[in-house]
Amino acid sequence: MRSDSTSKKTLRKGFEEADEYLEKEAKNREKWEKAREKLEKEAKDKDDKEKADKAKEELKKPYTPLAPNPSAEAFMALRSGDLTALVSINKASDYLHFLDALGKEEIKWTLQVPIARESDLYHVKSEAALTGRHIVMTPSLSVHPGTLRSRSMAAEFVTKGAKVTFVPRSDSTSAHESWLRDVGELVRAGLDADAALSAMTLHGAEVLRVEDRVGSLDEGKDANILFFDGDPFAATTNLEAVLLEGDFITGEVER
């Protein structure tokens, strides 16, 4: 999502296509119901058995909805809650334009934000719509624009009630290996440790809608657990064992 008319038109057009489909579908069903009423009358015609039998066969056929185009189908799924929108923005103005384009539409959406060196996202951290909202970001510090004063956007969003969700800085192996250390640096800079842990576990599972299986240590969930010999975010802590789907694949701890 960008703060320009093209992005806003694209979003609005998707909902308009959904409305157009629903209107066509309503007319198509109305036409089918009228035809069915006619068939029901013909099926009762005792003077023309052939016509009546043909009408009875037609009445056995169920209604076939019109096939929506992929865009309309996706936006209807957003409205019904079957899909969640992942909205990527680069700056605060992009977010405000997204809200304007969304208007009164009530859909589930998650925000994805890049943490650039001079991020201006602090301008929208107090937005009411972000309270309890998942915000996907990389574990990085930024600096206040025009200064060298560091800011932790993750900590600031958490303080305002958002559900921060951390992802590695890239898809590379090295980025995954340094993921825990990168988050630990934010904890050292003031991010609440419990919020940081949730940002690496439960909140990601909630974004992907698999929190009923993974993301927290609850009875009935998949047994995927990392065992550390201390605070996971401490530099001196070591990983002792890995439990994957109930089986230790490396190391073992006393049960």
pLDDT, one tens digit per residue, over 70-120 is: 999 999 999 999 999 999 999 999 999 999 999 999 999 999 998 877 888
**pTM for this prediction:** 0.84
- Residues 146, 39, single domain; the answer is no
Within-domain flag for 183: yes
pLDDT tens readout for residues 129-166: 999 999 999 999 998 888 888 899 999 999 999 999 99
Q: How far apart are CA 37 and CA 44, in angstroms?
A: 11
Q: Report how far apart, in Å, the C-alpha atoms of 53 and of each of 42, 57, 62, 63, 220 are.
A: 9, 6, 17, 19, 56
- Residues 205, 194, single domain; the answer is yes
**Is residue 241 pLDDT above 90, yes or no?**
yes
Q: Report how far apart, in Å, the C-alpha atoms of 163 and of each of 73, 132, 197, 214 are.
A: 29, 6, 11, 17
Average pLDDT over residues 229-239: 92
Could you say which of 44, 62, 81 is where a domain stops? 81
Q: How far apart are CA 14 and CA 18, in angstroms?
A: 6
Within-domain flag for 212: yes
**Is residue 223 pLDDT above 80, yes or no?**
yes
Give exposure, 162-191, as e/b (b: 16+ Cβ within 10 Å). Answer: bbbbbbbbeeeeeeeebbbebbbbbbeeeb
**Is residue 16 pLDDT above 90, yes or no?**
yes
pLDDT bracket for residue 253 (50, 70, 90): low
**Is residue 255 pLDDT above 70, yes or no?**
no
- Residues 98, 215, single domain; the answer is yes
- Residues 148, 188, single domain; the answer is yes
- Residues 92, 51, single domain; the answer is no
pLDDT at site 254: 62
- Residues 99, 71, single domain; the answer is no
Within-domain flag for 255: no
**Is residue 251 pLDDT above 80, yes or no?**
no
Of the two residues 209 and 254, the one the predictor is more confident about is: 209
- Residues 245, 121, single domain; the answer is yes
Could you say which of 81, 113, 136 is where a domain stops? 81
**Is residue 46 pLDDT above 90, yes or no?**
no
Average pLDDT over residues 184-189: 95
Range of the domain at 63: 1-81
Could you say which of 81, 106, 123 is where a domain stops? 81
Within-domain flag for 150: yes
- Residues 191, 219, single domain; the answer is yes
Within-domain flag for 188: yes
The chain-wide mean pLDDT, for the chain, equals 92
Average pLDDT over residues 4-30: 95
- Residues 54, 179, single domain; the answer is no
Contact, 249 vs 242, CB < 8 A? yes
Within-domain flag for 230: yes
pLDDT at site 115: 84
pLDDT bracket for residue 178 (50, 70, 90): very high
Per mean pLDDT, which range of 47-51, 171-175, 219-223 is the poorest?
Answer: 47-51
pLDDT at site 147: 83
pLDDT at site 48: 86
Residues shown for the chain: 255
Per-residue three-class SS string for the chain? CCCCHHHHHHHHHHHHHHHHHHHHHHHHHHHHHHHHHHHHHHHCCCCCHHHHHHHHHHHCCCCCCCCCCHHHHHHHHHHHCCCCEEEECCCHHHHHHHHHHHCCCCCCEEEECCCCCCCCHHHHCCCHHHCCCEEEECCCCEECCCCCCEECHHHHHHHCCCEEEECCCCCCHHHHHCHHHHHHHHHHCCCCHHHHHHHHCHHHHHHCCCCCCCCCCCCCCCCCEEEECCCCCCCCCCEEEEEECCEEEECCCCC
- Residues 153, 239, single domain; the answer is yes
- Residues 55, 176, single domain; the answer is no
- Burial class for 6, CB neighbours closer than 10 Å (0-12, 13-18, 19+): exposed
pLDDT at site 38: 92
Contact, 79 vs 105, CB < 8 A? yes
Q: What is the tally of structural domains in the chain?
A: 2
Straight-line distance from the first to the last Cα atom of the chain, in angstroms, rounded to the nearest whole number: 49
**Is residue 66 pLDDT above 70, yes or no?**
yes
- Residues 88, 64, single domain; the answer is no
